Amino acid sequence: MRISVAALSRELTASTGGLSYSWVKHALQTAGLVPRRRKRARIAGDGSGGPCPGCCCIWMPSRHAWVPGDPTLYDLVSVSDDATNELYYAVLVPEENTREVLRALRAVVRTRGVFCALYTDRASHFIHTPPAATCRIRPRSSGRSSNWASS
């Protein structure tokens, strides 16, 4: 005989007035009358939650006097794995530019394959950002009409 937890819970709540569905289900599972269900997977998929090597690469350029005794500043163009911190590519260049960045990305794709995401905190080679003093915000139509009405 198969027992419906919901039906039994409704009957017990009506007759006793205070047993919750969770309490009834737990009592039936403890008695072995209702099988325990396997816990559902988390939103992440299989729920492993472990690192995913190769999923996200970090491109982190930095300007520094890398060579001891040489006061010249070089840019270190490096690409590393976000999950394992494994260094995929690194080169010292006089000045970072688009060509060096694309060379680094090409080398990583050739040796490691295509990655899912690329993180960087500086993308000035690919996006133009005007200086704060020259950035002008155009007022919305309501702002323009109110300015016109007040003049």
CA distances from 54 to 117, 131, 133, 148 (A): 9, 35, 40, 56
Mean per-residue pLDDT over the chain, rounded: 76
pLDDT given at position 107: 93
What does each C-alpha distance from 64 to 60, 67, 93, 96 come to in angstroms?
13, 9, 11, 12
Long-range contacts of 15-21 (CB under 8 A, 24+ apart): none
pLDDT at 148 over 60: no
Instruction: Quickly tell me which residue has 């325990």 as its tokens.
Output: 36
Please compute the mean of the pLDDT values over residues 113-138 and round it to a whole number: 68
Instruction: State pLDDT tens for residues 27-83.
Output: 888 888 888 887 766 665 555 666 778 788 787 778 888 889 988 999 888 888 888
- Res. 25: pLDDT tops 80: yes
Grade residue 130 by pLDDT with cuts at 50, 70 and 90.
low
Rounded average pLDDT over 24-29: 84
Q: Does the predicted TM-score (pTM) go above 0.85?
A: no
Q: Would the pLDDT of 151 be above 60?
A: no
